[in-house]
Amino acid sequence: METDSNKCNSNTSIKHDQERSEEFVQMFNTVKEGKATIFQPKSVFYNPVQEFNRDLTIAVISHFAREHFESLKITQEKRNLHSKPPSEETVDNQERQNHEIPDILKAGVRYENGLRILEGLAASGLRSIRFGMEIPGVKEVISNDFDQSAVEIIRKNIQNNNLQSIVHENYGDAAMVMYQNKGFKDRFDVIDLDPYGSASHFFDAAVQAVSEGGLLCITCTDAAVLCGNAGETCYAKYGAMSLHAKYCHEMGLRILLQCIESHANRYSRYIEPLLSVSVDFYMRVFVKVFTGQGKVKRSVSKMAMVYNCTGCGSFVLQRLGQTIPTKGGNFKYSPATGPPVGERCDHCGFKHQFGGPIWAEAIHNVDFISKVINNVRATPKQFGTAKRIEGVLSVMTEELPVPLYYITDELSSILHCTSPTLLQIRSAILNAGYKVSLSHAAKNSNKTDAPNHVIWDIMRAWVKDHPIHERHLKPGTPSAVILAKEPTINVNFDIHPEANPKSRQQGLVRWQQNPEPDWGPKSRAKKTDDENSQMLDKRQRNQGHRKRKAEQTENGPDKKLIGEFDHEEDEGQNINRTDPLTVKERT
């Protein structure tokens, strides 16, 4: 029975709810991205620069969903061929509807046989909510974070966008959530990991918790580590030595793929990269994961070490293993033979650095990417960053599958000469009978199957036409040693008909536009006042701790040790994408 006091309480509570809701709206900014509108408190992470990352992910998963339903259809057709379908009456109507394989998939509708997606590190849930609203063919999105306040915001955002039937918030450690769902029936079709810094500590769980043929979407923002700024940290995190070479952005992607593959191999699984992108301040890879002991045996042959000349930057790959075809379509496996280089570089006489292992196979699936481009072109208004997606992905479809690249300006700077234009150097390579392409990871890059000596012959011929000052020919320097030799091939710089890549002819947005203020990886979200005062207490307690620790060491302060303490969180996040890529595209 309703009493007056109850009435009063319920009125008060309605009033409180309204006040709370108004307070809530005033406390937080609202952010609109794609179809989602979300509350975004300062204490929960948000980086608007990552819109490209989120748009691209939605474009990729949307096509993955289409393929998922196509394969369900094929399986169902095969099953129908071999067995008598149950009569209409025996199948419950609702059941049939839920499991139907529709011709046209809709977003924002729950499909019982659709994708189960986990966003392990969801912050405000923006990405998960966009998944729920924009990806057709979804069964469920679990939007997880281990920060209680973030989970609260996710819950509000789900309600606010009316997505309760598809998106579900979850509070937990991402690794634990994945371990708890690694059972055959519980695995996720798609796992998205988008942490601060490295994602490597999630790989072991992720490769187990993704379904057969499922998709991992992984960001690492510690690009500087992957690009050779701290090779020893890269080894600790990714099991490979990175090099600060001109091709470091692609090498970073290949280290990342190598690392995921080696984690997958421990569970008789292997990866197939769909798309690997190094843009802005981060790396992002999309890989499918499969199971197969036979295929896993080939993994070692897919890996290579890299010899990088410290004088002229020439590079040579050494595979770790060989896969040799035998009779009856079988294979035998053996260690690779080498080394492929002498003690000193053939071209300039300097020593080599040794990096890797890296993934030495294709990093993109061109067929898949072409379909993603077509879908984005068909709905140009869906994504705020559609133009950039089209541009970057188009360059990827043109990329040769050979690992790594030369940067034209770097070749010229070694020889202290002017640079050939993009069309001139590409023409010289093509006219010599080799292939060449750009890499999406660097302007003025030349991916080519031409051997190193051909590249240097082209540059020697260039210097003959564009002589350099004698002061640049100091004995023993790379330029003096390289230019002391005559070219062994006929070099022709006449413009080749295929020298100008299609993506360039079409004027697509292929490279990062001028960065806006605050561009870069964001550090952890700011703490509230309470959390700040707790941190201050801790800081005060620790004051002088490092100094005391350093003084205890026999040889005085160990800068490295202090450095590690100071920067562990942020290490590797400060990639300056203009280094070594400060170059404008040469025409």
Ligand X SMILES: C[S@@+](CC[C@H](N)C(=O)[O-])C[C@H]1O[C@@H](n2cnc3c(N)ncnc32)[C@H](O)[C@@H]1O
**Residue 123 binding partner per list Zn ion, ligand X, none, with a CB distance cut-off of 5 to 8 Å that depends on partner kind:** ligand X
Shortest Å distance, C-beta 171 to ligand X: 9
Residue from 28, 38, 50, 288 touching ligand X (CB under 6 A): that is 50
* Amino acid (1-letter code) at residue 477: T
Considering only the C-alpha atoms of the chain, give the largest distance between any 2 of them, rounded to a whole number of Å.
Answer: 102
Residue from 145, 222, 280, 361 touching ligand X (CB under 6 A): that is 145
Shortest Å distance, C-beta 520 to ligand X: 13
Residue from 58, 59, 126, 392 touching ligand X (CB under 6 A): that is 126
Q: Identify whether the C-beta of residue 250 lies closer than 8 Å to the C-beta of residue 279.
A: no
CB atoms within 10 A of CB 220: 29
* Amino acid (1-letter code) at residue 155: R
34 is a contact residue toward ligand X (CB under 6 A): no
SS3 readout for 123-143: CCCHHHHHHHHHCECEEEEEE
d(CA 550, CA 559): 8
Q: Identify whether the C-beta of residue 287 lies closer than 8 Å to the C-beta of residue 364.
A: no
**Residue 348 binding partner per list Zn ion, ligand X, none, with a CB distance cut-off of 5 to 8 Å that depends on partner kind:** Zn ion
Q: Identify whether the C-beta of residue 457 lies closer than 8 Å to the C-beta of residue 491.
A: yes
| Segment interacting with ligand X (CB under 6 A) among 8-16, 99-107, 144-152, 352-360 | 144-152
Q: Smaller CB distance to ligand X: residue 279 or 432?
A: 279
Residue from 347, 440, 460, 496 touching Zn ion (CB under 5 A): that is 347
Cβ-based neighbours of 249, under 8 Å, separated by 6 or more: 223, 227, 278, 283, 439, 441, 442, 581
Instruction: State residue 210 phi and psi, 5-degree precision.
Output: -100, 140
Shortest Å distance, C-beta 53 to Zn ion: 37
Residue from 28, 39, 45, 368 touching ligand X (CB under 6 A): that is 45
Shortest Å distance, C-beta 24 to ligand X: 19
Site string for Zn ion, 208-247 (x = CB under 5 A): ----------------------------------------
127 is a contact residue toward ligand X (CB under 6 A): yes
Question: Which residues is 119 bridged to in the sheet?
Answer: 143, 192
Interaction with ligand X in 101-120: which residues (CB under 6 A)? 120
- Decide: helix, strand or coil at residue 561: helix
**Residue 189 binding partner per list ligand X, Zn ion, none, with a CB distance cut-off of 5 to 8 Å that depends on partner kind:** none
Least Cα distance to 164 among 94, 118, 113, 110 occurs for 110
d(CA 413, CA 39): 50
Site string for Zn ion, 349-368 (x = CB under 5 A): -x------------------
424 is a contact residue toward ligand X (CB under 6 A): no
| Segment interacting with Zn ion (CB under 5 A) among 231-239, 278-286, 309-317, 504-512 | 309-317
Q: Is 184 exposed, middle or buried (0-12, 13-18, 19+ CB in 10 A)?
A: exposed
311 is a contact residue toward Zn ion (CB under 5 A): yes
d(CA 256, CA 218): 9
Strand ranges across the sheet with 406-407: 406-407, 442-448, 436-439
* Amino acid (1-letter code) at residue 313: G
Interaction with ligand X in 150-209: which residues (CB under 6 A)? 150, 173-174, 194-196
**Residue 312 binding partner per list ligand X, Zn ion, none, with a CB distance cut-off of 5 to 8 Å that depends on partner kind:** Zn ion
Least Cα distance to 524 among 570, 563, 572 occurs for 570
Q: Which residue is nearest to ligand X (CB)?
A: 121
Q: Given the structure tokens 């470091």, which residue do they identify?
A: 248
| Segment interacting with Zn ion (CB under 5 A) among 14-22, 59-67, 195-203, 310-318 | 310-318
Number of residues near ligand X (by CB under 6 A): 20
| Segment interacting with ligand X (CB under 6 A) among 44-52, 284-292, 339-347, 557-565 | 44-52
Q: Rule CB under 6 A: which residues touch ligand X?
A: 45-46, 50, 54, 120-123, 126-127, 144-147, 150, 173-174, 194-196
